[in-house]
Structure 1
Amino acid sequence: MKAIVQDRFGPPDTLRLTDVHRPEPAAGQVLVRVRAAAVNPYDWHMLRGDPYAARLLGGVGLTRPKQRVAGIDAAGVVMAVGAGVPGLSPGDEVLGFCPGAFAEYAVTTPDLLARKPENLTFEQAAAAPMAAVTALRGISTVGRVRAGQSVLVNGAGGGIGTFAVQVAVSLGAEVTGVCGPDKADLVRSLGAAHVVDHTREDWTDGRRHHDVILDNVGDRPPSRTRRALTPRGTLVVNGGGSPGRVFGAIGAMLGALALNAVVRQRLAVILPAAPSGPTRADLTAVTELLGSGRLTPVIGRTYPLAAAAEAVLHVEQGHALGKTVLTVR
């Protein structure tokens, strides 16, 4: 089968399309024929081995990528199931977390899959797992957003941000989205009551205050970001750092937790929505929102599987609109 492999840490051009053996499902596993796969910041972190601290924690591999075939988010069709897998059969259309998703086939476990809503294309379904689960956690589980609250989403035009705006709106919040001018109309169309152009306005200047802030960018330290919170508001940190940094987002999150101990406001972090993090309940909640139409994936660009390196570079540059998706036919 065709697959995108990564044999060493490095920039996106170290990715290459090659033939590898098709995986077979063992007991308790599911073989998925991948029809589409999403590109996430997670993917370029894995590719570069960034941050270095994550290598020591075992998340990305120590001297080379832990997962040779790249990718994690996928949507496709169940081809085979191993012994002891209830509830899924060949022919079922699914979405979820499939390590090695940048390939024609990938093996995963049933707890990391959910049935694809009929109203979604495979590309739309692939866009959802990591970004939508993270958004739902950030707004609902960690942020504890309630109807009538004021919510600010930094990075509102990106993959997680577009989902987060919709989740907050569905909960009855008044949403402010922070993004570049090229994404403002999109963010408004998703239900944001206010849009801040970060190239012209500093939303952390303390003039406006919000009950909950979801920071997907991490371009300012929590000590400054909290200026935009109400006295008892909640800051949810989900981002920070850049390629090659020792601690990257881990440092930003640890800083927020340390500050949380000495301020009245609540500073929290989102645990990664990667294979070690999500639960069937997370995916079920997301697919229910998708199936009901309360959540709609925003896809900015699609690429063929062979152009995976270009797609990862596009996401790594940090200005992607919505989700970037690979089509696998």
Structure 2
Amino acid sequence: MKAMVQDVYGPPAVLRLEETDRPVPGKGEVLVRVHAAAVDQGVWHLVAGMPYAIRAAGFGLRAPKSRVPGMDLAGRVEAVGPDVTRFRPGDEVYGSGTGSFAEYARAKEDRLAPKPVNLGFEAAAAVPVSGCTALKALRDGGRIEAGQRVLILGASGGVGSYAVQLAKTFGAHVTGVCSGAKADLVRSLGADEVVDYLHEDPVDGRRRYDLVLDIAGNRRLSRLRRALTARGTLVIVGGEEGGRWIGGNQRQLTALLLSPFISQNLRPLASVEHHSDLQVLTDLIEAGKVTPAVDRTYPLAEAPDAIRHLREGQVRGKLVIRVGGPQEH
């Protein structure tokens, strides 16, 4: 099969397209013929091996254990491993797996769900990681309630584009933060207000929110807390600063230590895709309440370009990798 592979950590240029063996599904796993995959910050972190904590977490100290990157996927079931009961060959699925930048990828059964009937494979591939992260951030981390005022920092990115739509479905008043060039996208997603962070500080304390989502940000906790009500909740979704060793996780560790001693709730988010969350997203997508925002689609051979484009910070929504098979259902 064709796949993007890497033998060392590094910039996107370490990736190359080559023929490699098709994976074999193990117990509780499904082999998916991948029609489309997607790019997010997690993919870049695993390609680069940065911060170093990622390597120590089991992904390979000196070189990546998995030669093929990629997590988001949408495609058709090719084969199933022992003990798989929910899927059979030919089923159209989406979710997250191992090595989705390839014609075939393995995925745990509980990380897949039937593909939404009203989405093509490319649009469906843009949902799993970012959509599940946004859902967990609002519902589980933020414990969002109807009528709350919600501030979403990073509203135009992959996770943010879903968070805006989901917060509206929960009945919240949503303020999205992005650059002025992306304000039209955030408004189209349903935000009640949009703040251009290049011209206004969204956490200067002049407005307070019941729930703040900081998505891949680098603002200090002391600044973020100024935007919270006395008993408001801050959910930290990743981080792209903080050094080579633990990166943005430093803020998350600080939040865990500080939260028990203050009236505000500071909650770092750890998100893993699960079929039950994918089903929630499927129901909302099929009801027309949530729609993937796909900025651009790349062929598999240009996956390194997609990762570079993501890191430039100009993406509106999600980037998708077209792998094979039909592009629309």
| Bigger mean CA deviation after superposition, 108-117 or 159-168 | 108-117
Structure 1 unaligned blocks of 5 or more = none
Q: CA deviation at 1:306?
A: 0.2
Aligned position for 1:138: 137
Distance 1:38 1:289, change over 3 A: same
What code does the residue aligned with 1:311 have? A
Residue in 2 that maps onto 1:51: 51
- The reply on whether 1:9 has 2:4 as its aligned counterpart is no
Which residue identity lines up with residue 297 of structure 1 in the other structure?
P
Tell me which amino acid in the other structure corresponds to 1:260. S
Paired position in structure 2 for 1:324: 319
C-alpha distance in 2, partners of 1:243/1:315?
19
| Shift in Å, 1:244 | 5.7
State how far apart, in whole Å, the 1-side matches of 2:53 and 2:184 are: 38
Does the C-alpha gap of structure 1 residues 28 and 11 become closer, same or farther in structure 2, counting only changes over 3 Å? same
Task: Output the amino acid matched with 2:18.
Answer: T
Q: Which amino acid aligns with 2:293?
A: V
In structure 1, C-alpha distance between the alignment counterparts of 2:230 and 2:26, rounded to whole Å: 53
Asked if structure 1 preserves the Cα contact closer than 8 Å seen for 2:128 and 2:273, the reply is no
Answer yes or no: is 1:299 the counterpart of 2:285: no
Contact 1:50–1:243 at 8 Å: present in 2 too?
A: no
Kept in 1: contact 2:29–2:107 (CA 8 A): yes
Supply the AA of the counterpart residue of 1:319: Q
Q: Is 1:119 the counterpart of 2:123 in the alignment?
A: no
Aligned length: 324
Structure 2 gap segments, 5+ residues each = 325-329
- The residue identity in structure 2 corresponding to 1:180 is S
Q: Which amino acid aligns with 1:157?
A: S
Indicate if the aligned counterparts of 1:45 and 1:243 stay in contact, CA closer than 8 A: no
User: How many Å separate the matches in 1 of 2:242 and 2:103?
Assistant: 29
Q: CA–CA distance in 1 between the matches of 2:246 and 2:186?
A: 31
1:176-325 alignment runs, 5 A limit: 176-242=175-241, 245-271=244-270, 273=271, 277-325=272-320
Contact 2:28-2:108 within 8 A present in 1 as well: yes
Q: 1:255-296: CA deviations, max 9, x gaps?
A: 22222132211000110x3xxx33322222222222222111
SS in structure 1 of the partner of residue 261 of structure 2 = coil
Distance in 2 (alpha carbons) for counterparts of 1:104 and 1:279: 23
Residue type at the aligned position of 2:107: T
Distance in 2 separating the partners of 1:115 and 1:256: 36
Residue type of the partner of 2:61?
A: L
Please tell me the root mean square deviation across aligned C-alpha atoms, in Å: 1.3
CA deviations on 1:177-226 (whole Å, 9 max, x unpaired) are 00011110111111101000011111111101100000003221111111
- Equivalent position amino acid for 2:28 in 1: G
Partner amino acid, structure 2, of 1:296: T
Report the counterpart of residue 169 of structure 1 in structure 2: 168
- TM-score normalized with structure 2 length: 0.95
Task: After TM superposition, give the deviation of residue 249 of structure 1 in Å.
Answer: 2.1
Residues 88-132 of structure 1: per-residue CA shift (max 9 Å, x gap) = 111110001111000001112211110001100101110011000
AA aligned opposite 1:178: V
> What secondary structure, in the 3-state scheme, does the structure 1 residue paired with 2:64 have?
coil
> 93-102 or 104-113: which moved more?
104-113
Instruction: Confirm or deny: 8 A CA contact 1:241 1:252 kept in the other structure.
Output: no
Separation of aligned partners in 2, 1:66 and 1:286: 31
Partner of 2:266, secondary structure, is: strand
Which residue does 2:40 correspond to in 1? Answer: 40
Amino acid corresponding to residue 291 of structure 1 in structure 2:
E
CA distance in 1, matches of 2:300, 2:197: 33
User: Compared with structure 1, are the counterparts of its residues 82 and 239 closer, same or farther at alpha carbon in structure 2 (3 Å cutoff)?
Assistant: closer
- Between 314-323 and 180-189, report the one with greater CA deviation: 314-323
Q: Which residue of 2 aligns with 1:18?
A: 18
Cα deviation, residue 56, structure 1:
1.9
User: Once structures 1 and 2 are overlaid, which stretch shifts more, 172-181 or 255-264?
Assistant: 255-264
Shifted more, 289-298 versus 122-131: the winner is 289-298
Q: Distance in 2 between matches of 1:28 and 1:174?
A: 41
Retained in 1: the 8 A contact 2:76–2:90? yes
Q: Does structure 2 retain, via aligned residues, the 8 Å contact 1:241–1:247?
A: no
